[in-house]
Structure 1
Amino acid sequence: MTPVTTTLHLGESGEQARIIPDEHDDGWVLEIGGAIQSHVDLADPTRIRYEYLRRMANVLDAFRPAGRPVGVLHLGAGALTLPRYVQSRRPGSAQTVVDLDRELPSFVLAALPLPEGTDLTVLIGDARASLTSLPQRFDAVVLDIYTGLDAAEHLTGRRFYAELLDSLTADGVLLVNIGDDAGHHFLGQQAAALESACAEAGLSGTWTLADATLLDQAQAGNIVLAAGGGLATDGPEALRATLLGAGPHPAAVLDPAQTAALVARSG
């Protein structure tokens, strides 16, 4: 397959976006501003290359019975890797994507079509502002916008996480991608903020998923924070065993108490 358009200027961010063949396999990559942002395998949407997305996908597999459709809100579109995965694993799921760059979703959809039958609504706008225009609650909310020390302040912190938790069903799950430098100070701040939001909402706390070496050595990389009533359905030990077994390996899955200890270590 050859993409309809391979290069696009993004008006909001001012960056150049390209969809190009992956040099390592038969997939495609979305490149923004010269950096690879997403990977898509059209032949097998369940194959996810990037580890943090794979760990998010594992949670989405585990928190509800296999194959059951769910409602998912994706804040940040990218190449729609996770919506493709959800459709493949849970056909009939109603999904909503919010992205700030108006041109990006249509660019991606024209070049890399979604699996047949995908129910996807695309909204253009700020991730936090868009929450107020969404009337329904979601079974899962995925925050996959750039989150690091220089991230947009209004898309981090306790109040924002409280709004995200409030947009979940009672047994829903929130997944947050945290990109951090060595030392994990930003991770510590955001995990503490999410823990505080969970406490206010009467939820058990924050889970952490990452490469075990990355956590042990406080290396720079992507770490997933997870929270919500859907994480307590089968008990913490059963969930932890399931997510550890799902990898990618070496895997670390920290329950709320272990996450609190990680926060204390990171300062």
Structure 2
Amino acid sequence: MPGRYPVRFGTAELLRDADRGNAWLVSVDGVAQSYVDLDDPANLEFDYVRRFGDVVDRLPPGPLDALHIGGAACTLPRYVAATRPGSRQLVFDADGELVELVRAQLGLRVPGLRVRVTDGRAGLATRREDSADLVVVDAFERASLAGGLATLEATRAIAGILRTTGTYLANITDGRGLPFARRFLATLRAVFPEVLLLADPAVLKGRRFGNLVFAASAAPLPAEEIARRTASAAFPARCVHGDELRKLAGRAVPITDENRPPAPQPPEDVLGLFPHS
């Protein structure tokens, strides 16, 4: 049922897409959180989620053991379940009221999917080493990245959970000069030998606030294949890797628990249109 519902981090609103019979937008306090098409889980509406899908599509074939930190309506877990049958997935989300809203209104009976209400860092501490093929961090509270998930300590914990060939995907946001993104990039490069970045060219140049998707792994990433896919998308994104990525990082230092910059805040004029999970 469309409507407004109280949740832990504000007021959630559930809206039906007038152009698709069973597709829904979930927002919290006016900030878009998830778009999910219940009839076609492979339909990814948000551009940055499509970038997640581009990377997932180029992982080795077969089912995945995946951990998602930040779930909302579980758009990407539904996509993985639809495109890689047999996958086992666990979602951590700190907003229990939002999880129950999604369960009641949009359903969470997805094959192989479990959802647990917990803080991301606390959840990471419960996972076994070498237990995941994919870890995805996409956790926001009121348009800001949830605390502690971009640090060197969290990144090392994620690397320990991943198998040797596993991939870490993260969505962050930033604006002019990309100060937060550069430090997050330095954090990833301190832990993973392979890193790439996907973003709208205007966001990458710091001309507007937006999403940046990072992929990292201990194993080689199919950067050229991903670059071709994203360049031909309806809304093209750039894939930055290798020397260009090192140049972007510059002299930025990793984010740590003791040295954490404030999370970037989107301008008020784009807040209501800004997608997060």
TM-score category of the 2 structures, normalised to the smaller one: 0.7 to 0.9
Give secondary structure in 2 for the equivalent of 1:20. strand
Give 2:47's match in structure 1, choosing from 51, 56, 69.
Answer: 51
RMSD of Structure 2 on Structure 1 (CA) = 2.5
C-alpha distance in 2 between matches for 1:187 and 1:208: 10
Give 1:37's match in structure 2, choosing from 33, 37, 44.
Answer: 33
Structure 2 portions without partners, runs of 5+: 254-277
C-alpha distance in 2 between matches for 1:19 and 1:238: 36
- Alignment of 1:227 with 2:216, yes or no, is yes
Q: Closer, same or farther in 2 for the Cα pair 1:117/1:92, shift >3 Å?
A: farther
Query: 1:24: Cα distance to partner?
Result: 5.2
Q: Closer, same or farther in 2 for the Cα pair 1:265/1:222, shift >3 Å?
A: farther
Which aligned pairs between 1:174-253 and structure 2 lie closer than 5 A? 174-198=168-192, 204-230=193-219, 232=220, 236-245=223-232, 247-253=233-239
C-alpha distance in 1 between matches for 2:30 and 2:206: 29
Conservation of the 8 A alpha-carbon contact between 1:70 and 1:93? yes
C-alpha distance in 2 between matches for 1:24 and 1:250: 23
Conservation of the 8 A alpha-carbon contact between 1:188 and 1:266? yes
Query: 1:30: Cα distance to partner?
Result: 0.4
Q: Closer, same or farther in 2 for the Cα pair 1:24/1:37, shift >3 Å?
A: farther
- Counterpart residue number, 1:262: 248
Q: Closer, same or farther in 2 for the Cα pair 1:50/1:152, shift >3 Å?
A: closer
Letter of the 1:206 partner, please give it.
Answer: V
**1:62-107 deviation digits (Å, cap 9, x = unpaired):** 0112xx1101111001111111111111111101000001122221
Which aligned pairs between 1:68-147 and structure 2 lie closer than 5 A? 68-114=62-108, 118-135=111-128, 137-146=131-140
Residues matched between the structures, number: 251
Q: Which has the higher contact order (CA 8 A, sep 6+)?
A: 2
Conservation of the 8 A alpha-carbon contact between 1:140 and 1:173? yes
Query: 1:172: Cα distance to partner?
Result: 0.6
Query: 1:243: Cα distance to partner?
Result: 4.9
Letter of the 1:208 partner, please give it.
Answer: L
Letter of the 1:219 partner, please give it.
Answer: R
Give secondary structure in 2 for the equivalent of 1:223. strand
**1:135-182 deviation digits (Å, cap 9, x = unpaired):** 361100000012899644422222211111111111010001011122
Query: 1:256: Cα distance to partner?
Result: 3.5
C-alpha distance in 2 between matches for 1:261 and 1:147: 31
Give secondary structure in 2 for the equivalent of 1:249. coil
Q: Closer, same or farther in 2 for the Cα pair 1:105/1:150, shift >3 Å?
A: closer
Query: 1:229: Cα distance to partner?
Result: 3.2
C-alpha distance in 1 between matches for 2:65 and 2:139: 19
Query: 1:250: Cα distance to partner?
Result: 2.2
Which sits farther off after the overlay, 211-220 or 159-168? 211-220
> Structure 1 length normalisation: TM-score?
0.84
C-alpha distance in 2 between matches for 1:169 and 1:113: 30
Conservation of the 8 A alpha-carbon contact between 2:88 and 2:113? yes
Give 1:160's match in structure 2, choosing from 144, 154, 157.
Answer: 154
More helix by share: 1
C-alpha distance in 1 between matches for 2:115 and 2:81: 15
Conservation of the 8 A alpha-carbon contact between 1:188 and 1:262? yes
- Counterpart residue number, 2:16: 21
Conservation of the 8 A alpha-carbon contact between 2:178 and 2:206? no
C-alpha distance in 1 between matches for 2:137 and 2:78: 16
**1:17-40 deviation digits (Å, cap 9, x = unpaired):** 121212554421001112221111
